[in-house]
Amino acid sequence: MREILYIRLHSGAADAVCAYSVARPDAALSFAVHRAPLGEILAHAGTRRVIVLVPGADVRLTRITVPARQPAKVLQAAPYALEDQLAEDVDTLHFALGPRQADGSHPVAVVARARMDEWLAAFREAGVQPEALIPETLCLPETQDQRWSALAEPGQVTVRSAAYSGFGCLDGDLPLFMELADPDKQAQLRILMPRNFDGDFTALGWPVELLPGFVEPLEALLQHLHLEHSINLLQGAYSQRESLRRLWQPWRVAAALAVVWLVVAALDHGIEVIRLKHAVAAQQQANVQRYQQIFPGETRIVDLAAQAEQQMARLKGGGAHGSFLPLLEQLSGALTATPGLQTQALQFRDGALFVSLTGTDLQQLESLRGWFAQHTGAQLDVQSANAGNDGVQIRIKLTPA
């Protein structure tokens, strides 16, 4: 039986110090945890299976219900089914599927592709292919009878609120996140605490059971890790099969270029004419795709130039569908009055402006609320707010007042 190398990853840098443990596949309670730079750990991976735990705060857990039953088709539909819930462009996100549930739904994990690439960079450089990338949220004890599980450590708390849901936040923001997740205060919180953590949860407002008794958080996570009840992020473009395809891809390109060179030498002028025609068609298709990215409601393109002019006229005009510029003006004023908030993405559809913001703390969100309460040019709807080690991720919706 091959040993398993478990790595708790926070940064993909080769010199980043990570907690790791080497254990037999049948290990259940005893996990010796060590620390070393990631590059040094990977240099000794050898033939071991490699399982990586990644920060739960960077992975959004949700679920979808679609008519398809085949996992590949469900995963293909996930970006479109979840598009309205996500502030980011779905083309920049990676989706991974969990096992089908009794009600027909599928759990889905969503993470930025840039984050996935960062996590995997050192592994690719070292020639190590992980078997699984698991969100830490799904390594906590499974919930039972409204008894939620949490891992508390200096600076952050990770909470598992159901089989495939949870959140991560700064330790000081835990009361706010609990209020958002459980406004009726029905949950009981079982908190795993390492010995070097002296956090005080007596004023939290929810029933709390403290479970100390371990030194390294990775030790507690591995004791409750069940791969069959988690979601492996290495799916789709990040699967092992896709990794093998990428290794072969450079050779395929070289062979294709050799064939193209021979054809061009034989046909010369005729090939040039065909190439130009394809280039024009490709540019036209690119223009259509870009137009549909800007105006996602436009699915039928008849006359691109005319439709683009009509859309611009609507944006400059008034009414429910022409409020883009006024809403943008309101957003600009609000951000000017709220230092520290940065715009990550904008999307205008159905007369509303959807904005993805980043900041340093949740107080900036309260300042933003206060600004819109004093200015009646637009109505603010906060759709989500998530805090983590990298700051606060906020999604808002602006509609005409």
| pLDDT tens digits along 67-94 | 888 888 998 899 989 988 888 899 999 9
CATH of the domain at 337: 3.30.1360.100
Q: Which of 220-229, 255-264, 290-299 has the lowest mean pLDDT?
A: 255-264
300 and 344 assigned to the same domain: no
Does residue 137 lie within any of the structural domains? Answer: no
Residues 181 and 242: their CA atoms lie apart, in Å, by: 36
Query: H or E element: which one contains 114?
Result: helix 113-126
Give the domain range for residue 301: 268-316
The pLDDT tens digits of the residues spanning 334-355 come to 889 888 888 988 888 888 889 9
Query: Binning pLDDT at 50, 70 and 90, where does residue 254 land?
Result: low
Does residue 355 lie within any of the structural domains? Answer: yes
Task: At 136, list the tokens.
Answer: 């830490």
- Is-contact 66 105, C-beta < 8 A? no
The pLDDT tens digits of the residues spanning 280-318 come to 778 878 777 777 776 666 777 877 777 777 766 666 555
388 and 328 assigned to the same domain: yes
DSSP 173-225: GHHHHHHHH-TT---EEEEEEETT-----TTSSS-EEEEEEESSHHHHHHHT-
343 and 391 assigned to the same domain: yes
Does residue 55 lie within any of the structural domains? Answer: no
**Where among 316, 345, 375 does a domain terminate?**
316
Q: What's the pLDDT score for residue 357? A: 92
345 and 394 assigned to the same domain: yes
307 and 331 assigned to the same domain: no
Query: Binning pLDDT at 50, 70 and 90, where does residue 239 land?
Result: confident
Residues 276 and 22: their CA atoms lie apart, in Å, by: 57
375 and 333 assigned to the same domain: yes
301 and 340 assigned to the same domain: no
SS3 state at 126: helix
Does residue 374 lie within any of the structural domains? Answer: yes
How many CB atoms within 10 Å of residue 63? 16
275 and 301 assigned to the same domain: yes
Does residue 133 lie within any of the structural domains? Answer: no
352 and 395 assigned to the same domain: yes
**Where among 254, 285, 316 does a domain terminate?**
316
pTM of the model: 0.60
Residues 265 and 258: their CA atoms lie apart, in Å, by: 11
The whole-chain average pLDDT of the chain stands at 85
Does residue 109 lie within any of the structural domains? Answer: no
Q: How many Å separate Cα 127 from the centre of its chain?
A: 25
Residues 6+ apart with CB under 8 A from 213: 195
Does residue 364 lie within any of the structural domains? Answer: yes
306 and 333 assigned to the same domain: no
SS3 state at 269: helix
Sign of CA dihedral 66, 69, 73, 75: positive
348 and 281 assigned to the same domain: no
Cα distances (angstroms) measured from residue 271 to each of 258, 265, 268, 281 = 15, 9, 6, 15
> Could you give the percent of the chain with pLDDT greater than 70?
88
Does residue 103 lie within any of the structural domains? Answer: no
The pLDDT tens digits of the residues spanning 158-193 come to 999 999 999 999 988 999 999 999 999 999 999 999
Number of H helices, E strands in the chain: 10, 17
310 and 328 assigned to the same domain: no
Q: Tell me how many domains the chain contains.
A: 2
Q: How many Å separate Cα 71 from the centre of its chain?
A: 19
**Where among 279, 296, 316 does a domain terminate?**
316
